[in-house]
A and B are shown apart, each in its own frame.
Chain A
Amino acid sequence: MVDTQTQNKAPWWKRKDVKETATLWVILSVLIGGVAGEVISRSLGAPASETMANTIRMMKIFTWVAAPVAGLVGAIGLKSLMQKRHTGDTPPAESDHQIANSPKAAAVWIVISGLLCLFALVFGMIVMQEDAKSLQAANAIHINVTGQQWLWNFDYPDNAGVRSHDLYLPVDRPVIFDVSAKDVKHSFWIVQMGVKVDANPGYITQTAVTPNKIGVFDVRCAELCGLLHAYMQSQVHVVSQADYDAWIKSQGGRA
Chain B
Amino acid sequence: MTTTMDKTASAGHSTKRPLIEKLNVFTAFGLGIILAVVCYVLAVKFIPEDTDSMLIHTKHDQVVLLAMIGWFVGFMVGIGALIGPFRWLLGKDLTHDENMFYAGKDLGVKRYFRYTTDHKVVGIQYLVITMVIFGVGGILAMLIRTNLGNPEGGWIHPQAYNAIVGIHGIIMIVGTIIMITGPFGNFVMPIMIGARDMAFPRLNALSFWLIVAAIPPILSSFFLGGIMTGWTAYEPLASESPAGMDGYIMFICIFALSTMVAGANITATVVRMRARGMTWNRTPIFIYGVVASVALALPAFPVFFLSQIMSAFDRAMGTTFYNPAGGGSGWLYENLFWLMGHPEVYVILIPAIAALMEMAPVFTRRPLFSFNVAVMGIAGICGLSALVWAHHMYMSGWAPLLNGPFMLTTELISIPTGMLFFVLVGTLWRGRLWLTVPMASIYALLWNFMIGGITGIYLSDVPADGTLHGTMFVTAHFHYTLMGAGLTGAIASISYWFPKMTGRMLDRRLSWVSFWMVQIGFNVAFTGMFLVGLAGQPRRVETYNAMFNQGNMITTGGAYVIMAGMLVLLFAVIDSWRNGIKASDNPWFAKTLEWSVPTPVPLENFATLPVVTTDAYGYGKAKS
Chain A interfacial positions (CB closer than 8 Å to B)? 1-3, 6-7, 17, 39-40, 43-45, 51-52, 54-55, 58-59, 62-63, 66, 69-70, 72-74, 76-77, 79-81, 83-87, 89-102, 105-106, 109-110, 113-114, 116-117, 120-121, 124-125, 127-128, 131, 179, 183-185, 187, 189, 191-192, 194-198, 200-203, 205-206, 218, 220-231
* A77 with B236: CB separation less than 8 A: no
B240 within 8 A of partner (CB):
yes
**A1 (CB) vs chain B CBs: closest residue:** B426
* A45 with B535: CB separation less than 8 A: yes
Residues of B within 8 A of A110 (CB): 415, 418-419
* A224 with B371: CB separation less than 8 A: no
Instruction: State whether A62 and B458 are in contact (beta carbons under 8 Å apart), knowing that A91-B434, A184-B240 are contacts in the complex.
Output: yes
Instruction: State whether A95 and B466 are in contact (beta carbons under 8 Å apart), knowing that A39-B531, A198-B397 are contacts in the complex.
Output: no
B454 within 8 A of partner (CB):
yes
B195 to chain A, nearest CB (A): 26
* B620 with A96: CB separation less than 8 A: yes
Instruction: State whether A221 and B419 are in contact (beta carbons under 8 Å apart), knowing that A120-B411, A184-B237, A206-B397 are contacts in the complex.
Output: no
* A196 with B534: CB separation less than 8 A: no
* A95 with B407: CB separation less than 8 A: no
B553 to chain A, nearest CB (A): 16
Q: B97-105, B177-185, B226-234, B597-605: which one contacts chain A?
A: B226-234
Q: Which of A120, A179, A228 is the most central at the interface, judged by chain B CB atoms within 10 Å of its CB?
A: A120
A106 to chain B, nearest CB (A): 5
A114 to chain B, nearest CB (A): 6
Cα–Cα distance between A225 and B471 once the two chains are bound (Å): 14
* B369 with A101: CB separation less than 8 A: yes
* A222 with B470: CB separation less than 8 A: yes
CB-contact partner of A197 in B395, B414, B623, under 8 A: B395
**B471 (CB) vs chain A CBs: closest residue:** A222
* B367 with A55: CB separation less than 8 A: no
B162 within 8 A of partner (CB):
yes
Residues of A within 8 A of B364 (CB): 80, 95
Cα–Cα distance between A125 and B462 once the two chains are bound (Å): 8
Cα–Cα distance between A66 and B369 once the two chains are bound (Å): 23
* A59 with B434: CB separation less than 8 A: no
Residues 350-382 of chain B: 1 if any A CB is under 8 Å from the residue's CB, otherwise 0? 000000000000101111111111000000000
Chain B interfacial positions (CB closer than 8 Å to A)? 158-159, 162, 228-230, 234, 236-237, 240, 324-325, 329-331, 362, 364-373, 395-397, 400, 403-404, 407-408, 411-412, 414-415, 418-419, 421-422, 425-426, 428-435, 443, 446, 450, 454, 457-458, 460-464, 466-467, 469-471, 530-531, 534-536, 538-544, 587-589, 617-624
Cα–Cα distance between A73 and B617 once the two chains are bound (Å): 23
* A201 with B330: CB separation less than 8 A: yes
CB-contact partner of B331 in A101, A117, A200, under 8 A: A200
**B618 (CB) vs chain A CBs: closest residue:** A98
Cα–Cα distance between A231 and B428 once the two chains are bound (Å): 50
* B544 with A205: CB separation less than 8 A: no
Cα–Cα distance between A17 and B463 once the two chains are bound (Å): 41
Residues of B within 8 A of A80 (CB): 364, 425, 428-431, 433
* A185 with B324: CB separation less than 8 A: no
B589 to chain A, nearest CB (A): 5
* B434 with A224: CB separation less than 8 A: no
* A84 with B431: CB separation less than 8 A: yes
* A98 with B621: CB separation less than 8 A: yes
New contact pairs (8) apart from A95-B431, A100-B368, A221-B538, CB-CB < 8 Å: A51-B463, A84-B430, A92-B434, A94-B432, A99-B620, A110-B419, A184-B237, A195-B466
CB-contact partner of B229 in A3, A55, A221, A224, under 8 A: A224
* B371 with A101: CB separation less than 8 A: yes
* A198 with B418: CB separation less than 8 A: no
* B463 with A127: CB separation less than 8 A: yes
Residues of A within 8 A of B624 (CB): 7
* B430 with A17: CB separation less than 8 A: yes
Residues of B within 8 A of A198 (CB): 395-397
Residues of A within 8 A of B240 (CB): 183-184, 226
Residues of B within 8 A of A74 (CB): 446, 450
B373 to chain A, nearest CB (A): 5
25 contacts between A and B (CB under 8 A): A3-B429, A44-B535, A62-B454, A62-B458, A70-B450, A77-B425, A80-B431, A80-B433, A93-B432, A94-B432, A95-B621, A97-B430, A98-B618, A99-B620, A100-B369, A101-B369, A101-B372, A120-B457, A121-B408, A124-B462, A191-B536, A200-B396, A201-B330, A229-B538, A230-B541
Residues of B within 8 A of A121 (CB): 407-408, 411
Cα–Cα distance between A62 and B589 once the two chains are bound (Å): 43
CB-contact partner of B467 in A17, A52, A109, under 8 A: A52
A20 to chain B, nearest CB (A): 12
CB-contact partner of B542 in A54, A98, A230, under 8 A: A230
Cα–Cα distance between A230 and B202 once the two chains are bound (Å): 48
* A96 with B538: CB separation less than 8 A: no
